[in-house]
Structure 1
Amino acid sequence: MSEPGVLVERRERVVVLQLNRPDQLNALSPELMDELLAALRTADADPTVGAVVIAGHERAFVAGADIKGMRDRPLHDVLTAPASRFWMRLAEIEVPMVAAVSGWAFGGGCELALACDLVVASEGASFSQAEIKVGILPGGGGTQRLARTVGKHRAMELVLTGCAVTAAEAQAMGFVNRVVGVDEWRDAAIDLATQIAAGPPLAVRLAKRAVLAAEDGPLGVGMLAERKLMELAFASEDRVEGMTAFIERRAPRWSGR
């Protein structure tokens, strides 16, 4: 029996999903994408989970798509395969996701990091939308998320040349939150996820949705979405608990309601 492509570890309110194809540098095969999405959906449906960490290995977060599997695939397979819907389904996950990146995050790996809500990277990590070098272009949101994150001109350079950038360069561009030592990237990502998971569960998910609304339209539309989401949070029991705890100078006891 083959080993699972995704190893699941629980750290109190944090779920760590360890990609487990080290011999293939965690290349995103359809099977790996199915396993990852299933694990994310399970975590997302669990009210006791406050955040998820998606981690690679020291040498590679994800080195790209499975090129050997893609080379001989006909167009109709690309259009109809369940994996083609992976990226849209990934965008439906409501629990905050933190990418823990070491080594290469190329092609689909860069897109997976961009699809997460926060990125913690080893100082030895590198990022690249390298699809142009094999005759295609990003198809998992890379062009869209890069343009929204780093701006048109930088996105054009990364997409049209397929060049790689270091973790420090990616942080300067705005799509890496924290750069840490080569032995610290996984623990640092878990620490950040733990900090998020300690917050009020409902408000955290609503706040994620509000920030993402900024990508979907003009400021007025985003402001309206933010206001509606804030009102939902204001109607929660956790809002009363949080404010009461603040007044009483004690730690809040969140219920997720």
Structure 2
Amino acid sequence: MKIHAVLAALLLHFSLPALAQPDEAGKLIAAGTVPDEAARAAILGKLRELYGAANVVDRLEVGGVVPPPNWADNMTRLLSERLRQVHSGRLQVSGTRIALQGNVANEALRQQVVSEMATVLNPTYTIDNGLVVAGGGQGVLDKTLSNRVVEFETASARLTPAGSRILDEMAEAIKRIGTPRLQLIGHTDSAGKREANVELSLARANSVRAYLIDKGIPAASLSTSGAGPDRPLGSNDTAEGRARNRRIEFRLNG
């Protein structure tokens, strides 16, 4: 799978490569602002060497930013062959701070990628290792949700403030694991007619999808369905059980 790259102007008015979710065509997109034409050529040359010229889309802009010393050299060293082993990833640099996210095959590789980055950069750079082992993404989502329920107003698909706060955390978790394809499944308790509950559960899942898109999750990566009351976690005979059944499930699609 190809990696989609984004370069974006950040708070320090310069930006460095960010590897992110591949687009639908599987291209690696380089976008943002670099200090000069030489830096642009060096970065694009390295990306094309790694991923193939046909797979790199150039959206870089030049000028108006002031980079740290030896910026272009550090960035081309950062773009190493090892990055090809990161899938659905994101590499973002702001000043001398680097954040790397995405999926890798095993724990040893998770450590190696960041270790090699640190070796080629000077000590002023710090690296935040947000890589996760492939297959562990569902665990990250489940841990973030932590048995909590995304709350809505009564008989409505309108989120409560508490529900929105949980979704803020879920959006960050989704980004940490590389913005995978995700199914949002709405569930209700058994009170009322089944048909109405199925409709409500789907409406709530769609509300969650809209909220996550607003938080920067690509629309193409999110699908929804409504299960209504058909998959209860608890007994609908108790208030506690009904509360557990009124939920949104976050499920990775493969």
Give the TM bin, normalised by the shorter chain: under 0.3
Kindly indicate which of the two structures has a greater share of residues assigned to strand: 2
TM-score (norm 1): 0.25
Select the structure of larger CA radius of gyration. 2
Kindly indicate which of the two structures has a greater share of residues assigned to helix: 1
